[in-house]
Chains A and B, each alone.
Chain A
């Protein structure tokens, strides 16, 4: 049987693409490696970000009606699961100078949500619309020809093939299919990060509406350990403690150091690990032309850093439109590419801002980080979750008076100048 559209990956992107394609009357097959998508086992931070214009969209949440509303792309998604507002974000230096992000009226700038619940709801809608849901199946390779796409799949060790006229690849940042079909060939590869998250009860100073990060070697990692809101159902009791690492610097080891030997060990004296999650993130530079032949690569699969659930939903929505147009002989993919390049900030200088903005360790020594953070003390920066705005606001504040830094810490000033003048290749 030849489907109109095959979608690889039933995340927010894939499900949303399947839903809107099915609404347009297409025969859709959705391929997913897991059996039950509502039980999320791969860790992700699970926030809906309310920043204005974030990824080319401003998302609103209607708590009473249980809806996530996209104002720019014009869709609504039902969501009736738990929500926990995030109102404050702190970055700490080794001797606890803080950079504080918050709105003056304490309105939330992000919501922690329940990803499993969102996916479950979307899948239910998809099934009602007649989408074929092929779970426990991994698509690992494919071949594109003018007649259509042939996918190689495997399920419980048995290999088989599927055919479809069009294909949407949205299997996440590690994009197995994107790699197999050659989309990663022109992308810069920046290596991979390992992440482990610990949901912990009994953490001292835990506040569900705060998100914290600690920068400095004293905390045991080049990548800041983070702490945020726990999972839905346990917002009040469990803290989400996130460790990033690499094969040389395993997150488990960083966690041990952070909770037992770092200056923050006191917070974890009576804490207990309730649940553990992990993930591997391969970082590639964004895909500039996310389509070729009959294939469209969307969501995290084509991205530089996570597009987040809302970015995924938008990608899915737009991809469904693009596919419908392509099947009608119109130029849907070109339209999608335009939207993709325009909307996502990492496709422009936003990407540089992220790589350079967070490159604090090991560029700066601990006392230098202290100095830089002390320059931001007493200022409350606008509430933001965005990966582009956070470093921008932070560095704008630090560099309010560059002459002062030049006078007081010439060495630090030189380092800043060097980092700022780096090209992407060098910063990788």
Chain B
């Protein structure tokens, strides 16, 4: 634990925690566009700048990349900082004049005149890099990245062709703060339901639930998760709403342990009720309702 000051208030922070997170935890708002809890700090949008005084020297730093330290004095709303932020927002507005979140920020910081616009491709992309980082860090697919530079910098699939490593999971669509990345789930195509992600020129088949028949996720996405987690082949046969926890019929169960030996997540355990009386017991908090235990039972006690 370290002690520091933010806007004159003494706050405590874990060692290694960023100044941004410390402020957030103490109810002090710092605006940001490129920070996300699931991703590593990146420092791209520059909106989260703050004044940090250390050993009598004051500097302007991005709070998302600056670690909390003993004795820091942080100020989040000095005129210098507000002026800096205003400049950042004006530049963003020049690039993306039609993005609601940028327009809202401009209003908050009192920017009335729209700066001269820069004509370019993808004029809703603010280059925060959330999509690229989510694809690399969380999904670990590495399907998209930044291309070109300067004024012409964009996020794109390799060589502006179909992104071959894309599994159409839609994480980029979900995380994009401006909605520039678009996905489309088409139910009726000649070859079954499909997901299109136009930006990366990707098209993948959606798997249909074996029970209700509704398409629920793209095939390569399910297959990737299945292989990474070492799950059985039929693991993703059912959609989330059709998955029901298996039920053990204790009168039939002979306590052989076959189900628990095959449970990929250790959700099935043996309840020892003394002596010969052992029964399989399902701890639902660990169960994903994959039902791989069902065919494994020699006495059909699991349904």
Across the interface, B298 reaches (CB within 8 A) one of A34, A155, A176, A245, namely: A245
* B interface residue numbers (CB < 8 A to A): 230, 254-267, 269-270, 272, 275-276, 278, 283, 285-286, 295-300
Contact with B along A280-321 (1 / 0, CB 8 A): 101000000000000000000000000000000000000000
Choice from A139, A171, A277, A280 contacting B296 with Cβ under 8 Å: A280
Beta-carbon contact of B230 and A39 below 8 Å = no
Out of A157, A179, A278, name the residue touching B258 (CB < 8 Å). A278
Instruction: Check if B260 sits within 8 Å of A33, measured CB to CB.
Output: yes
A157 and B257: CB pair below 8 A? no
- Interface of B, helix, strand, loop or mixed by DSSP: loop
CB-based contact B283/A247 at 8 Å: no
A-B interface contact total, Cβ < 8 Å: 111
Residues of B within 8 A of A180 (CB): 230, 264
A417 contacts partner chain B, Cβ-Cβ < 8 Å: no
Q: Is A251 an interface residue (CB 8 A)?
A: yes
- Which residues of A (193-236) have their CB < 8 Å from a CB of B? 194-196
Q: CB < 8 Å: which of B258, B265, B295, B300 contacts A140?
A: B265
Selected A-B contacts with CB under 8 Å, 25 pairs: A33-B260, A33-B269, A36-B272, A41-B255, A41-B278, A42-B258, A136-B270, A138-B266, A138-B269, A140-B263, A153-B266, A154-B283, A159-B286, A176-B266, A179-B230, A194-B296, A194-B297, A245-B298, A247-B295, A250-B298, A252-B300, A276-B299, A277-B254, A280-B256, A280-B262
- Contact at A41–B256, with CB atoms within 8 Å? yes
Distance to closest chain B CB from A204 (angstroms): 26
A70 beta carbon closer than 8 Å to chain B: no
Give me the 4 closest cross-chain CB pairs, A-B, nearest first.
Answer: A280-B258, A140-B266, A157-B283, A35-B272
Q: Is A266 an interface residue (CB 8 A)?
A: no
Contacts of B258 in A (CB 8 A): 42, 174, 194, 278-280
Least CB separation from A157: chain B residue: B283
Compute how far the CA of A166 lies from the CA of B61 in the bound complex, rounded to whole angstroms: 46
New A-B contacts (17) at CB < 8 Å, excluding given A39-B275, A176-B261, A280-B297: A33-B260, A34-B272, A35-B270, A36-B272, A41-B256, A41-B270, A41-B278, A139-B266, A140-B266, A159-B286, A174-B262, A194-B297, A247-B295, A250-B300, A277-B256, A278-B258, A280-B256
Chain A residues with CB below 8 A from B255, complex form? 41-42
Task: Tell me, rounded to whole Å, the shortest Cβ–Cβ distance linking B215 to chain A.
Answer: 28
Q: For the complex, count residues of A whose C-beta is within 8 A of B.
A: 44
Least distance between B227 CB and chain A CB atoms (Å): 10
Cα A247 to Cα B261 with chains together (Å): 17
CA distance A131 to B106 in the complex (A): 67
A182 to B230, CA, bound (A): 8
A393 at the interface (CB under 8 A from B): no
Chain B residues with CB under 8 A of A252: 299-300
A65 at the interface (CB under 8 A from B): no
Cβ contacts A26-49/B at 8 Å (1 or 0 each): 000000011110010111000000
